[in-house]
């Protein structure tokens, strides 16, 4: 129960921050545009707290932390005092109305830049970017990467940690591109060319390094199982958290890496395991499911995680940190990359080139809010940056009821010289509502599928 409450609290804080940022963008620019703002609400539903400012704006904190809004004076929504008509939103010039609508998503992008800046100035901890092993038949091997290589930069961008290196490789994986990797090898710097195969699901599936055929250096981890996925081959075979794998296919298993190698080498084939627990030893046969690679033969997977080790030894740890000026530039780059990747994935989902499973809803977001808040302040800030960018991109989609839908109407108004009719706007709102409800339903379905699969 404590973990659930912590996750819900982290989710509420995250949504509260991001909604406030988005709506404040609308609010601030509306003020600059001379529009009278009637209400600024964070949250939806019944007001919990309310205060009226000297400017006449009502500031509200509502019960449901699932959104927010800025209500502006508008003749389309009720009668307006003739003396106030010039302050009604619908009577402001097209340029100002466009700026007010655009300000919400822009505020989300600016927040992400600041969040990334703060994260990079404070330092993002992680594993050292040192290659421990390379699969012989892999993209990494063909590029010339080898055990002991320390990744220094990807396309000229510093990579002090393994996570930073994978973050820089991710955009190339979505499209299948060639990247230059700078290595520290035998006391000197070398540059290799890595042909990254196209992986449309790279942003969702994780373990980009493993799919490229390389693993990071880390301390020896005992072959003890952690979390077991429900319905997975490991679950069906009767394996459970805390089991120690002493042997696989009759060969002793000394560490977690050896176990992974045995499992990956047996896709679709029964694998005999010798398992130790508090009651002694037992024999278990598990059949790893075959998981396709972007290229080459599939690998085996049983759906069992590793039992989390204790603290990481200092010699394996690193921190990705920038100076204040360099961090600002890196924050802009990361925000741009994340926004374009989000847009690409959405576009490919529409045309059927990417799985609809990429779409996540509030349950998944809440889980990640809890995970990152538990991991530390810097990780939580990074999570906020990613979600803020996603919120900005989604709001710019040309769907009525979203900011992008209003911008679409303004584009039509600019072309035809007059606003779209009320009938057209009402029809668009019905279509937009149906589209948003369908997306929300799909996102909830994906969340529940992940939760109970």
Domain count for the chain: 3
Q: Look at residue 1 and tell me if it is in a domain.
A: no
* Residue pair 30/12 in contact by the 8 Å Cβ criterion: no
Which residue would you say has higher pLDDT here, 315 or 22?
A: 22
Q: Look at residue 25 and tell me if it is in a domain.
A: no
Q: Specify the pLDDT at position 354.
A: 64
190 phi/psi in degrees, rounded to 5:
-135, 155
Q: Specify the pLDDT at position 344.
A: 85
Residues 155 and 263 in one domain: no
Residues 316 and 175 in one domain: yes
Taking only the tens place, the pLDDT of each residue in 134-146 is: 988 889 999 999 9
Residue 339 confidence class, pLDDT cut points 50, 70, 90: very high
Q: Specify the pLDDT at position 101.
A: 95
Residues 272 and 379 in one domain: no
Residues 178 and 117 in one domain: no
Q: Domain residues for 371?
A: 101-122+324-453
Q: Look at residue 352 and tell me if it is in a domain.
A: yes
Mean pLDDT calculated for residue range 415-439: 84
Taking only the tens place, the pLDDT of each residue in 73-132 is: 988 888 888 888 999 998 999 999 999 999 999 999 999 999 999 999 999 988 899 998
The closest alpha carbon to 401, from 419, 372, 375, 427, belongs to 427
Q: Specify the pLDDT at position 355.
A: 65
Q: Specify the pLDDT at position 120.
A: 94
Residues 213 and 360 in one domain: no
Q: Specify the pLDDT at position 241.
A: 87
Mean pLDDT calculated for residue range 218-231: 84
Residues 436 and 294 in one domain: no
Mean pLDDT calculated for residue range 298-318: 79
Residues 197 and 144 in one domain: yes
Residues 151 and 166 in one domain: yes
Which residue would you say has higher pLDDT here, 293 or 208?
A: 208
Q: Specify the pLDDT at position 211.
A: 84
Q: Specify the pLDDT at position 137.
A: 84
pTM, rounded to two decimals: 0.79
Mean pLDDT calculated for residue range 329-339: 93
Taking only the tens place, the pLDDT of each residue in 310-326 is: 666 777 888 899 999 99
Q: Specify the pLDDT at position 296.
A: 65
Residues 240 and 263 in one domain: yes
Q: Specify the pLDDT at position 332.
A: 95
Q: Look at residue 289 and tell me if it is in a domain.
A: yes
Q: Look at residue 42 and tell me if it is in a domain.
A: no
Residues 453 and 408 in one domain: yes
Q: What percent of the chain has pLDDT over 90?
A: 40
Taking only the tens place, the pLDDT of each residue in 342-398 is: 888 888 777 776 666 667 777 778 887 888 888 889 989 999 999 999 999 999 999
Residues 133 and 117 in one domain: no
Q: Look at residue 28 and tell me if it is in a domain.
A: no
Secondary structure of the chain in HEC code, one letter for each residue? CHHHHHHHHHHHHHHHHHHHHHHHHHHHHHHHCCCCEEEEEEEEEEEEEEEECCCCCEEEEEEEEEEEEEEECCHHHCCCCHHHHHHCHHHCCHHHHHHHHHHHHHHHHHHHHHHHHHHHHHCEEEEECEEEEECCCCHHHHHCCCCCCEEEEECCEECCEHHHHHHHHHHHHHHCCEEEEEEEECCEEEEEEEECCCCCCHHHHCCHHHHHCEEECCCCCCCEEEEECCCCHHHHCCCCCCCEEEEECCEECCCHHHHHHHHHCCCCCCEEEEEEECCEEEEEEECCEEECCCCCCCEEECCEEECCCCCCCHHHEEEECCCHHHHHHHHHHHHHHHHHHHHHHHHHHHHCCCCHHHCCCHHHHHHHHHHHHHHCHHHHHHHHHHHHHHHHHHHCCCCCCCHHHHHHHHHHHHHHCCCCCHHHHHHHHHHHHHHHHHHHHHHHHHHHHHHHC
Q: Which of 306, 333, 351 is the last residue of a domain?
A: 306
Q: What is the mean pLDDT of the chain?
A: 87
Residues 255 and 382 in one domain: no
List the CATH number of the domain containing 256: 2.30.42.10
What spatial distance separates the first Cα and last Cα of the chain, rounded to whole Å?
A: 21
Taking only the tens place, the pLDDT of each residue in 254-272 is: 888 889 889 988 999 999 9
Q: Look at residue 366 and tell me if it is in a domain.
A: yes
* 295 belongs to the catalytic site: no
Q: Look at residue 58 and tell me if it is in a domain.
A: no
378-400 per-residue burial string, b: 16 or more CB within 10 A, e: under 16: bbbbbbbbbbbbbbbbbbbbebb
Mean pLDDT calculated for residue range 426-440: 84
Q: Specify the pLDDT at position 73.
A: 92
């Amino acid at each position: 129960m404590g973990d659930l409450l912590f996750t819900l609290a982290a989710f509420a804080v995250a949504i509260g921050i991001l909604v406030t940022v988005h709506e404040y963008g609308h609010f601030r620019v509306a003020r600059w545009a001379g529009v009278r703002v009637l209400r600024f609400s964070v949250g939806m539903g019944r007001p919990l707290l309310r205060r009226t400012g000297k400017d006449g704006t009502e500031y509200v904190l509502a019960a449901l932390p699932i959104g927010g809004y800025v209500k502006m004076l508008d003749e389309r929504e009720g009668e307006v005092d003739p003396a106030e008509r010039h302050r009604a939103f619908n009577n402001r010039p097209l340029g100002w109305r466009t700026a007010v609508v655009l300000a919400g998503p822009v505020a989300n992008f600016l927040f992400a830049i600041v969040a990334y800046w703060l994260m990079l100035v404070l330092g993002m901890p992680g594993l050292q970017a040192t290659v421990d092993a390379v699969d012989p038949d892999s993209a990494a091997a063909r590029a010339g990467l080898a055990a002991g290589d320390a990744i220094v930069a990807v396309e000229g961008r510093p990579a002090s940690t393994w996570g930073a290196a994978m973050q820089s490789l991710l955009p190339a994986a979505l499209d299948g591109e060639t990247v230059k990797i700078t290595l520290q090898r035998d006391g000197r710097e070398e540059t290799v060319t890595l042909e990254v195969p196209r992986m449309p699901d790279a942003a969702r599936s994780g373990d980009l390094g493993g799919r490229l055929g390389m693993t990071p250096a880390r301390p020896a981890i005992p072959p003890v199982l952690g979390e077991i996925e429900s319905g997975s081959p490991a679950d069906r075979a009767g394996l459970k958290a805390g089991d120690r794998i002493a042997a696989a296919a009759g060969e002793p298993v000394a560490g977690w890496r050896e176990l992974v190698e045995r499992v990956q080498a047996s896709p679709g084939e029964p694998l005999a395991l010798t398992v130790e627990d508090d009651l002694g030893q037992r024999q278990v046969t598990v059949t790893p499911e075959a998981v396709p690679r972007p290229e080459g033969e599939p690998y085996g997977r049983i759906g069992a995680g590793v039992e989390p080790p204790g603290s990481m030894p200092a010699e394996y740890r690193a921190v990705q940190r920038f100076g204040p000026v360099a961090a600002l530039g890196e924050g802009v780059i990361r925000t741009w990359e994340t926004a374009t990747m989000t847009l690409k994935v959405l576009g490919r989902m529409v045309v059927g080139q990417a799985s609809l499973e990429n779409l996540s809803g509030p349950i998944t977001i809440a889980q990640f809010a809890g995970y990152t808040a538990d991991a530390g302040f810097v990780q939580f800030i990074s999570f906020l940056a990613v979600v803020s960018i996603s919120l900005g991109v989604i709001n710019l989609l040309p769907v009525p009821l979203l900011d992008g839908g209003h911008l679409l109407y303004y584009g039509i108004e600019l072309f035809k010289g007059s606003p779209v009719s009320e009938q057209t706007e009402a029809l668009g709102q019905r279509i937009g509502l149906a589209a948003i409800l369908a997306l929300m339903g799909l996102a909830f379905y994906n969340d529940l599928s992940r939760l109970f699969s």
